[in-house]
Structure 1
Amino acid sequence: MPERVYNFSPGPATLPYEVLQQAAKDIVNFQDSGIGLIEISHRSKQFMAVIEEAEQLLRELMDIPANYKVLFLQGGASSQFFMIPMNLLGDGKKATYLNTGVWSKKAIKEANQFGQIEIAYSSEEAKFNRVPAPGEYVVADDSEYLYFVSNNTIYGTQFPEMPKSEKMLIADMSSDILSRKLDVSKFGLIFAGAQKNLGPAGVTLVIIREDLLERTPKNVPTMLSYKTHADNGSMFNTPPTFSIYIVAQVLKWLKAQGGVDGMEKINREKAEMLYNAIDSTDYYRGHAEPGSRSMMNVSFNLPTADLEKKFIAEAAAVGLDGLKGHRSIGGCRASIYNAFPREGVVKLVEFMKEFQAKNPA
């Protein structure tokens, strides 16, 4: 096997190496059962223990109150763009959305099919280079909820503090869940695609307050009702067993790192190191305004597009992979999620200094 590279991909993203090693064994022979992990029945005692452990660890790490359900769903985070308004809005009802990037725009488009959507803030004209401060938007009195994306993978922005509102909060935390402490009780619903901070693609986590399960209109299809999955312990149909298993393994790894508190300290250190390298020179320019910078995704530019192309190619050649920016803004992007090792950031910062010295603008 070749030496592992540092994977800066925005998702599917890097996973803890020890998790991959354990999964490589279990996928062939799970717990000495003579059956591979992806072959066992989702109704078996072995897998039921896996999904129960995943939920228990998540509840412990996030301090999830007892009156919240934890669901492991399929369809990706994008399915939540329509499931949320389908379940929680109705004819004539209103919801407020904050438009801070591609994923909020997609959610707004879907939500418009199910109710009246009010966009209280948008940074689109500034190429989504910031998130709003608390006083920059107003949530309508008749809104059912305030929807926002806590971290934007493409533009490298993140809410430094979660929005506060008398209305119910609903958050897409696909790219920063478990990266910092938060109070789950302030939210009606939190969701996250696994493939950035939790595990591989294939499972989407939903944390929903129990009373909301009764709000689903009767005409919502069975598979698209949160109550269906809550009542069946995420076992209404065959769940993505392998993805859930990896989530459980990642959560065990995260607990060993000191939990969310320990992870937040590491994440802040990694991000500070990289932003310091960007700010120390005019050669590199961060896309996000300083007050809105993400700890998870660092988007930046070089003096020219040609230099960016060369930077990405030469970085990949020395084991720094996945640094190409999203097609909508170009440039470079370093995704440094929970499992991304500190030494990878150190190596990237060293490469940035060397590249600038060899390639003056």
Structure 2
Amino acid sequence: MNPTRDPMLVVVGASAGGMAALKELVAQFPPDFPAPVFIVNHMGAHTTGEALVKVLNESSSLTCAHGHHEEVFKSGHIYLAPSDQHMLIVKRKILITKVARENRSRPAIDPLFRSAAVAYSNRVIGIILTGYLDDGTSGMRAIKRCGGVCIAQDPEDAAYPDMPQSVIANVGADYCLPVAEMGALLTDLVTRELPENEPVPEDIVIEAKIAQRVLSDLPSVEALGEQVPFNCPDCGGVLWQMADGKLLRYRCHTGHAFTSSALLAQQSVKIEETLWVALRMFEERQNLLVTMSKTEDKDNTSSVSQRAKDSQVHIDRIRAMLKATDKDSQSVEMA
């Protein structure tokens, strides 16, 4: 890496079906690939990500490892975001943070892409692979606005086409192709001569600083959008609506961020949780009333029995609502 010139960076985002796509992608990198590669693959907080590190090391001639906080990155290495933490990029270094989730995910793709765009402007190549919903779309737009390159997996090649389709529809891809054809393209792109870095828009800088936990105050969020009359489903805080091109997004002042589809999905999760709590409380109430009806004197038995029947009406309604939302819940879990 030439210390007098900013390097090219490759940032990659994947979700459902990501292991197979990433394995195919990294297998195409030559041993002397002249750029660092940073990967976010959505994973649960309970997983370690070691299985993916092992698969990528077995598949690629490059060394793959989890990124570490304040690690100086090197060309020809692959850095994978660790479980339950965001991976960000600043000049020459990696930052690992455990701030608020974005799009219901940690690690999330948008913070990585956005931080790369702020730090390296037009020297960033972004790749979106298979996955549900639209994490990565806002980050890819930040890359495009800073002069970087946008690559989307051909949706017909993706096991789950939502994420690349969202990028194509909301950002516009410079290249849309199957994973099998990305290696040759990347080898060409990272060796191209580029003009000087372009200025970074202020809103992208603000969001990148929020992900670093440098900013988490009301004026910062108010500079990004307008307050709306509903709340963050994760913390209960007020949300601000941001227009990001054709994409609607929302932020709270503690740092949670959502696209409209991610917000809707998280609201569905919270609604289901609330319904289960309500069902438990009504069933407990009914059980207590039934017990009381067996011990109360005859004058009160009729009233208590009626209240138990009323509780059963509410129980039946809540069960019906839970059945009606079951399909939505299953799709949210897969995302």
TM-score (norm. length: structure 2): 0.32
Answer 1 or 2: higher relative contact order, Cα 8 Å, separation at least 6. 1
If the length of structure 1 is used for normalisation, what is the TM-score?
A: 0.31
Rg larger in 1 or in 2? 2
